[in-house]
Amino acid sequence: MRTVLVAGGCGFIGTNFVLHLLRTRPELRVVNLDKLTYAGNLENLAEVEGHPNYRFVKGDICDEALVDKLLGEGVDVLVNFAAETHVDRSIKDPAEFIRSNVVGVQTLLVCARKRNVRRFIQIGTDEVYGSLGPSGRFTEDSPLQPNNPYSASKAAGDLLVRAFHKTHGMDAVITRCTNNYGPFQFPEKAIPVFVSNAMQDRPIPVYGDGLHVRDWLYVEDHCRAIESAMERGRAGEVYNIGGGNELPNIELARLILRELKKPESLIQFVTDRPGHDRRYALDSAKIQKELNWRPRVTLAEGIPRTVRWYLEHQEWLGKLRSGDYLEYYRRHYHQTHGLKE
Ligand code: NAD
Ligand code: TYD
């Protein structure tokens, strides 16, 4: 049985990926290493806690002794989602971004090499390419031109992965995806902020003129793309993963309001983010051609599905917004596993 170590499995995409593997790949064992920062929520994975092929380990990817021990137990593939991910936070306080997104990646790479992990998958972002004008799309060969501390730290992580492949021949693949949306996204990112505010008739904060464009991909489609890179991606390659669903933020806000039958008067233009990238868009021809991956969920299907999920998970949303989810970890996990805090 192959073992996949998922780092950062209690965050938004990591949660969806762990659930995806456990639902569809009974031949795989999944170990989830997560530090449970503010963005990590153990309760997301409550339904698989007792699953025979699943194990959770609380820990930091910068903790070399712990990572070494875990990888020494036998890991075939390491998929690294663990990162600080919110651009606005990186502008206020970049230190944690450098620690987790750069030093963390380096620690994983050093240990993976020492413990002969067969394949290393680094989950990257399109934001490393910087900002586009009104036309064109980034390819895997576009220069890295990050514009904020988050994207700069992610670019540094990607470059370390590349260097370990070139220097040590490590079997490593980097994926770079556009903006994801779907279940379990933390309510500080645009879509869950828009949905949860609108649900409560609170203003929807749209940065600047609202004409910044993002390309949206439903998280399940991203999980399938990562799985294809994990199984069939070529060592040393980068794969862009785009949704083909470009939308200015103001249109996204309107779409969500229509879905919730709320008035457009809830939209409030607020001060822009400094260095706000104008447009992201990816050319995903490479992954489509080489790995036969295609997105399946259109925005027309994905947005209603996501809005419905948040409507049905208002308790989850409320807990995250109040910070109560940390209580779940303290009570439930420590009790279940007989651990001391
Ligand atoms: P998230 O913020 O929801 O979750 C991050 C997870 O990593 C959390 O569970 C957190 O506890 C964990 N973590 C953070 N630092 C850690 C550390 N030092 N050690 C162990 N665990 C740690 O993030 P997400 O949106 O799920 O993104 C996951 C990955 O995908 C990130 O690497 C991000 O850069 C990338 N990505 C995200 C998007 C997107 O739209 N969300 C798009 C492209 C790429
Ligand atoms: P976000 O979800 O933070 O992702 P990223 O910055 O990584 O693309 O933001 C998506 C877009 O929405 C981005 O252009 C910033 C904008 N935005 C708002 O207009 N209002 C908000 O409250 C947030 C969180 C983001």
CA dist 126 and 154 (Å) reads 10
pTM for the whole thing? 0.96
Is the shortest distance between the CB of 81 and ligand 1 below 6 Å? Answer: yes
Q: Looking at residue 65, what is its pLDDT?
A: 98
CATH of region 2-184+216-244+278-298+325-337, choose from 3.30.930.10, 3.40.630.40, 3.40.50.720, 3.40.50.620: 3.40.50.720
Give 328: exposed, middle or buried? Use CB within 10 Å, 0-12, 13-18, 19+: middle
| Cβ(32) – ligand 1 distance below 6 Å | no
From 129, 150, 218, 239, the catalytic residue: 150
Residues of the chain with pLDDT under 70: 325-326, 328-341
Residue 127 is among the residues annotated as catalytic for this protein: yes
Is there a catalytic annotation at residue 325?
A: no
pLDDT at residue 309, rounded to an integer: 98
At residue 339, the pLDDT reads 52
Count CB atoms within 10 A of the CB of residue 253.
Answer: 25
* Domain boundaries along the sequence of the chain: 2-184+216-244+278-298+325-337
- Residue 160 is classified by DSSP as H
Assess whether the C-beta atom of 85 lies below 6 angstroms from ligand 1: yes
What local confidence, expressed as pLDDT, does residue 318 receive? 86
Testing ligand 2's pocket by substitution, the residue of 214, 222, 255, 276 carrying the most ligand atoms inside 8 A of its CB is 214
Got the DSSP string for 168-218? H---EEEEEE-EEESTT--TTSHHHHHHHHHHTT--EEEETTS--EEEEEE
* Interior angle at CA 12, CA 215 and CA 53, nearest 5: 130
Query: Is residue 327 among the annotated active site residues?
Result: no
The residues with which 216 forms a beta bridge, in sequence order, are: 179
Give the count of beta carbons closer than 10 Å to the beta carbon of residue 205. Answer: 15
pLDDT for the residue numbered 319: 85
Distance of CA 85 from the midpoint of ligand 1 (Å): 6
